Amino acid sequence: MKDSLKPGLNLEHSHAVTDAMAPAHIPIKVLSTPSMVQLIEATCYSCVQPHLDEHESTVGTHVCVSHVGPARSGETVTIKAVLNEINKRRLTFEVEVAAPSGVISTGSHERAVVDLERMRARS
């Protein structure tokens, strides 16, 4: 990990909601919770990856988020991630997802820094 990896790092990404992100069992095309979690994970990953060494990456280890409102297909959602805590190799983020209707999710996400060379050696 580089010295630049510090609490307070943050990133905001916007994504268009597509029909492919909707749950199959709902007649209206809205952002599914699994698709929303995927966007949260990708934003947190992108937030810290430049601050890791070349042979390091992160993997998700815990997600605790609400999903209290819809984002319809064609709308844009904005994901905000703030790195709140670093505990050895564990990174904890505060996250928020907003749609045109307002905030549709808040919570936290934890990622672990992994050594890709060690992972390759084990496989």
Span 69-100, pLDDT tens digits: 999 999 999 999 999 999 999 999 999 999 99
Cβ contact 107:37 at 8 Å? no
Cβ atoms within 10 Å of 121's Cβ, excluding its own: 8
Cβ contact 93:84 at 8 Å? yes
Strand duo 90-99 + 10-16: pairing: unpaired
Confidence at residue 27, expressed as pLDDT on a 0 to 100 scale: 95
This prediction has a pTM of 0.95
**Using one digit for the tens of pLDDT, what is the confidence trace for 97-112?**
999 999 999 999 999 9
Cβ contact 31:70 at 8 Å? yes
